[in-house]
Copies of this chain bind each other. A is one copy, B any other.
Amino acid sequence: MAVTMNDVARAAGVSLKTVSNVLNDYEFIRPATKQRVQDAIAELGYEANLTARSLRSGKSKMLGLVLSDLSAPYYAELASRLMKAASRRGYRVLVEQSDAVADVELNALQGPFRQLTDGLLFTPLMIDADAIAARLGRKPLVLLGEHILDSRFDLVTMKNEEAAAALTARLLSGGRRRIAVIGAHSGESAGSAGLRLNGYRKALDQAGVPFDPALVAPCQWRRDNGAAAVAGLLEGGVEFDAVFGLNDALALGALHELLIRGVRVPREVAVAGFDDIDEARFASPSLTTVAPGMEEIAERSIGLLVDRIEGRETSGGGVQVEAGFLLQVRESAP
């Protein structure tokens, strides 16, 4: 049905191998031969069968990306950039949504998803380092955005703790003393939530402000969780003069709930988030947040993964990359 390499070889009067050589940019081909093959390819409209190539070569030119939910704005923006960075290097990205379910994360590490891809970009939420190590296999794996302190793994992350501390310090220096934190994850074995909470506590310590567990609201990381958390604090009679949402979606949900209830932001309560998603700039009031170097994260993680796959990065232990961050001070916490 479709045109095959055999058809091209016949049309060009050469063998299969020669066609293959031309397709794979083998150096030593006589120019005239190469031209004949290229003409035949153009004339017949030949396109390489990628599945056959994969089967034989063992490389699919696809990368796997495991994250909890593509509709979360941070992941949507990150995935978009990762796909572009991969595309520049000749790779496609296949996305798997884990919904923060441990079994899905485990299966992504060793099941068909792994098999289809040459390497994995993985955001572990529910499983720990040992679970990952037990399923490493021989294909490259780069951990993303989380901070598993384990030199066995390649890791591209952000300065979760320092950035959260810097943001908290900023709130403190603005005179806030009772800073509610929403989005803590007590059940999470490896994640940004814990690190960001650490940063918050360190900044409090530094300023000599006592830590009050009543100000910590555990919840998931969506807008509605943020709104509900703030509602819970207000209805529980907890007093606070600032809210630190551990990501922007939470902070934006919190902001919404505060405004609905007539709480003035930032006059009565300041609000800050983490991620600097595009939405943060356009909120009203615009959201103070941490810009975690998303482009750098995308570029470095794809670069590292592809370098591993193609053998340019061969260090034995894990390569650890930490992207820089920037405080984006806006209206919600000036």
Contacts and interface: CB of A to CB of B under 8 A. Distances in A.
Number of chain copies forming the complex: 2
Contact of A223 (B52, B96, B224, B278): B278
B83 A76 contact: no
B71 A77 contact: yes
Interface residues of A, number: 48
A79 interface: yes
Contacts of A317: none
Contacts of A314: none
A115 B49 contact: yes
B97 A94 contact: no
A283 to B, nearest CB: 7
Nearest to A99: B84
Interface in A24-45: none
A256 B278 CA distance: 12
Contact of A283 (B49, B84, B97, B256): B256
A111 interface: yes
A113 B115 CA distance: 19
B111 A282 contact: no
Given A71-B80, A256-B284, A223 B279 contact: yes
A50 B112 contact: yes
A31 to B, nearest CB: 27
A279 B278 contact: no
A84 B96 CA distance: 10
B47 A112 contact: yes
A50 B55 CA distance: 9
Contact of A51 (B51, B223, B279): B51
A187 to B, nearest CB: 23
Given A49-B55, A69-B80, A227-B282, 10 more contacts: A47-B111, A47-B115, A48-B112, A71-B76, A71-B77, A83-B95, A92-B94, A256-B281, A256-B283, A279-B279
Interface of A: 47-52, 54-55, 60, 69-71, 73, 76-77, 79-81, 83-84, 92-97, 111-113, 115-116, 222-224, 227, 252-253, 255-256, 259-260, 278-279, 281-284, 286
